[in-house]
Amino acid sequence: MARWQPHAPERLLVAALELFEERGYENTTVIEITERAGLTKSTFFRHFPDKREVLFGGGTMSELLAEAFDTAPAGAGPLEAVAHVLDAIGRKAFTPDRREFSARRSAVIAANPELREREALKELGLIASMTDALKRRGVPDLTARVAAELGALAWKIAYERWRDATNRDDFAVLARQTLTEVQAAGALC
């Protein structure tokens, strides 16, 4: 085994997803993941604290989110800033070549309660990150919380639509459309 091999996190993710699909999450070990990826156990733990986290990308999405808020236009209102973030994240993280992989990942998560719980916790963390970023932009607390919740809901719905094999729309376009739909639906309540 080579001492250093490129793209270790991605290779571990692919290996884990394949094994989770073949054997189930519960029946797959970190050792099996590393063997499939052609890496070592220490390499795995250098990138991920446990096998559950391999599907959740560590802090990658939070980092993308913070970076996107930093580049949102200064005069943008809360939902426009959120829309900017959805656009930016869509261009970086939800590329067409990731669509099938994302659908497979979602199916594995849906099949396991522990992974569904982690997905929900990650979503809560992203909402908190969006809320904090909006507050740093001077948005009042309640408005920041509502905008972050609406943004997270739009993100979730857009992601479901985007990963559908029959859909060929760009994630950023879907996210903006969905944010508009969510905002309109909220006004009807």
CB atoms within 10 A of CB 95: 12
Domains and CATH numbers, the chain: 8-54 (1.10.10.60), 56-188 (1.10.357.10)
Mean pLDDT over residues 159-178, rounded?
Answer: 91
The pLDDT > 90 percentage for the chain reads 78
pLDDT tens for residues 105-139? 999 999 999 999 999 999 999 999 999 999 999 99
- Locate 41 and state its tokens: 């156990």
Angle between helices 60-71 and 113-136 (to 10 degrees): 20
pLDDT for the residue 59: 64
pLDDT tens per residue, range 45-70: 999 999 999 998 766 788 888 889 98
Question: Per-residue pLDDT averaged across 90-117, rounded?
Answer: 92
SS3 74: coil
Q: What is the pLDDT of residue 113?
A: 96
pTM of the complete model: 0.86
